[in-house]
Amino acid sequence: MEEALSSFRNRPILGYIWKDEDGNPQFDSHNMHQEEDGTLVYDEQPIGHIRENSDVHLEYDEAEDKYRVIADGFIYDDYTDAVEILKRETQCDVSVELAVLDLSYSAEERVLDINKFVFTGVTILGKDEDTGDKVNPGMEGSNITVFKNGDVITVDASQATEAVNINENQGKEGDATVDDVNMNAQTTEDAGSTVDTTPSAVRAYSVVVDGETHQFELTLGDIQFALNRLVNETYGEADDCYYDVEVYPESQYVVMYSWWDGVEGYRQGFEADEDGNYSLIGEREAVKRVWITEAEQQQIDADRQSKAELEAQLEEIKGQLATYQEAEATAQRQALIERDEFTVLSDTDEYQALVSEMNNYSVSELENKLNALLLSYAKKQFSANKPEVKPVVQFAVNEKHTKKSPYGGLFKD
């Protein structure tokens, strides 16, 4: 932890400021939007910074029994209403961003250790511009306070600065990188950040980060986090998009959709091997999210029910048709084997074997096999009953030839 403290210096203090219906300026959160060309634009802007010579240190909170990171910085007095808000509120919640460089998991203690990280900035939180609801910090107690010797002060505008005290629970998650750890964390002075999972529904799984496999035993919520990271590491950069991921463990698929519009997305299957390693399987299928009224939902449900009933009726008809067709085919096979020309085969083993298996063949296939048996039988019979051929002996006979008279022997005497 102490190794990371120096990285807090020269980091920006950010804020998104809007005015409520009474004209009062308010902070919001990590506001951003995406242009039509996909460019990511941060709506929050730098309103101050942590000084180069800031006294960044750990301070033990006895009441909370935890260490806090304390740092001081400047808020710019010109250009924004940040100082006005801080003076009015005296204290605001903050969200400190960090990038995790190395992490590990203790299966015995069920603690996730953030071994190495750097601070990337801090955002002042306030109220949601759309709903007016308070934006809560990821780490309870993380705050920023205007101070000087413990008192709120007024600063000359020409100085363009206001001193602030940033009081942050150590180990807050970061929002800037995929590797940020989205879990509440508690630290000690001589150890890395730790997360007590204490799962009520534990499943084992592992995640590969930068080619290194990390084994975990975490709750179903943590599996959601793991698959979210897996999806975004697989597709985020290629699609130039950050995906929100919904996990459907019973059906074994995830739905990923753009964080920006939440409408168009994809569905894809996932699986875990026997060691608990999760992976995406199959091809992504494009899906759309559609908002409908209750009446429209009821109509869709009724249509689905009607479709299901029709499909059930169709399956029943198909079953009846198949039964009828099989019965007809069986009758045709029986008639075929009883035809007169095949009766001569009835005593042969080949014929008996074919008859016992005749339902395994179509009518045409059975007829072809019977014809083949008949031809084979005929050849055997011809060979067995072939008549004996006796040799012909020829003799040469010398005869005296006399000239024949056309009158016979009439004038012989």
DSSP string computed for 333-383: HHHHHTSGGGGGGTTSHHHHHHHHTGGGS-HHHHHHHHHHHHHHHHHHHHH
Query: Based on the domain organization, do 69 and 129 belong to the same domain?
Result: yes
Is 272 in the same domain as 379? no
Q: Map tokens 């169709």 to a residue.
A: 314
Instruction: Tell me if 411 is assigned to some domain.
Output: no
Q: Are residues 165 and 34 in the same domain?
A: yes
Element (H, E) at 318: helix 294-337
Residues 32 and 128 in one domain: yes
* Furthest CA-CA distance within the chain: 182
Q: Are residues 5 and 121 in the same domain?
A: yes
Do 56 and 185 lie in one domain? The reply is yes
The answer to the question of residue 394 being in a domain is no
Query: Is there a domain that residue 35 lies in?
Result: yes
CA dihedral over 95, 99, 105, 109, signed as positive or negative: negative
Co-location of 19 and 161 in the same domain:
yes
Please give the Cα distance from 334 to 322 (Å, whole number): 18
Angle formed by the axes of helices 363-384 and 294-337, nearest 10°: 20
Query: Could you tell me if 54 and 155 lie in one domain?
Result: yes
Shared domain for 160 and 267, answered yes or no, is no
Residue 211 lies in a domain: yes
Is there a domain that residue 379 lies in? yes
pLDDT tens digit at each of 413 positions of the chain: 777 888 888 888 999 999 999 999 999 998 888 888 777 788 888 888 888 888 888 888 888 788 888 888 888 877 789 989 988 988 899 988 777 777 666 656 666 677 788 888 889 999 999 898 999 887 777 888 876 533 333 333 222 233 444 554 443 333 332 222 222 222 222 333 333 333 333 344 454 555 566 554 545 665 777 788 888 888 888 888 888 888 888 888 999 988 777 777 999 999 877 666 778 999 999 998 888 899 999 999 999 999 999 999 999 999 999 899 889 988 999 998 888 888 888 888 888 898 999 889 998 998 999 999 888 888 888 777 766 666 666 655 555 555 566 555 655 55
Is 409 a domain residue?
no
β-bridge pairing 111-124 and 12-15: parallel
Domain limit, last residue, from 260, 291, 322: 291
Domain-embedded: residue 235: yes
Strands 45-50 and 91-106: unpaired
pLDDT for 299 equals 94
pLDDT recorded at residue 393: 60
> Could you tell me if 84 and 230 lie in one domain?
no
On whether the CB atoms of residues 95 and 175 are closer than 8 A, the answer is: yes
Burial environment of residue 36 by CB neighbours within 10 A (0 to 12, 13 to 18, 19 or more)? exposed
pLDDT at 126: 93
Domain span at residue 8 reads 1-194
Listed residues 194, 221, 249: the one ending a domain: 194
Total number of domains in the chain: 3
Which pair of tokens denotes residue 386?
Answer: 């072939």
pTM as predicted: 0.40
Q: Are 358 and 373 in contact (CB under 8 A)?
A: no
Q: Which of 225, 256, 291 is the last residue of a domain?
A: 291
CA–CA distance, 27 with 7 (Å, rounded to integer): 25
How far from chain centre, in Å, is Cα 120? 30
Q: At which residue do the structure tokens 């010109």 appear?
A: 78
Surface-to-core class of residue 52, CB atoms within 10 Å of its CB (0-12 exposed, 13-18 middle, 19+ buried)? exposed
DSSP for 201-238, please give it.
S-EEEEEEETTEEEEEEE-HHHHHHHHHHHHIIIIIHH
On whether residue 404 sits in a domain, the answer given is no
Q: Are 282 and 311 in a shared domain?
A: no
Contact assessment for residue 158 and residue 58, using Cβ atoms and an 8 Å cutoff? no
Is 261 found in the same domain as 119? no
